[in-house]
Amino acid sequence: MPLLFSILEFGSALERWLAQDAATVQAARYAGELGGDAPELRRFLADQLRASGIDPDRVSVDVAPSRVGWREPVRVSLSSAYSVSIPFLFSTTVPLRSSAISRGEVNR
C-alpha cells in the first residue's frame, strides 16, 4: 500500500514541477520582451502559477539581471516547496526549482 501512495505522490510532485517549469519558461520569454524584471512580469507569472493550481505567494522568484538590452541574457528562476506525505512511511518537503534563460528583445 505505501508503494501505491509513493507513486501517486511522485506523480503529483512531477506534475507540479512541470507546471512551475512551464510558467518559468513563459516568464523568461516575457522578461526578454519587457527588457528585464517588471511588475507586469510578476503579475503574468502569478497568473500563470495560479492557473496551474500553485499559490504564487509560496513561490520565490528571481530575475537576473533586472534590466537587459538587446540580445543580453535574462534568467528567471523559481523555487518552491512541495509537501510529500506517504501514509505509514514519512512526510517531508521537497524543493522544486525551475530556471529558464531568454534573450532581451528591447533595443535600449
Quote the number of domains for the chain: 1
Mean pLDDT for the stretch of residues 44-69: 97
Q: Does residue 17 fall inside a structural domain? A: yes
User: Is residue 108 assigned to a domain?
Assistant: no
Query: Tell me, what's the pLDDT at 89?
Result: 85
Is the predicted pLDDT of residue 108 greater than 80, yes or no? no
Range of the structural domain that residue 90 is part of: 2-103
Considering only CA atoms, which of 67, 61, 62 is closest in space to residue 34?
67
**Which phi and psi angles does 46 have, rounded to 5°?**
-60, -40
Residue 39 counted as domain residue: yes
Query: Using one digit for the tens of pLDDT, what is the confidence trace for 13-25?
Result: 999 999 999 999 9
Residue 41 in any domain: the answer is yes
66 by DSSP, 3-state: which?
coil
Task: Give dist(CA 37, CA 44) in Å, integer.
Answer: 11
pTM: 0.91
The average confidence (pLDDT) of the chain is 95
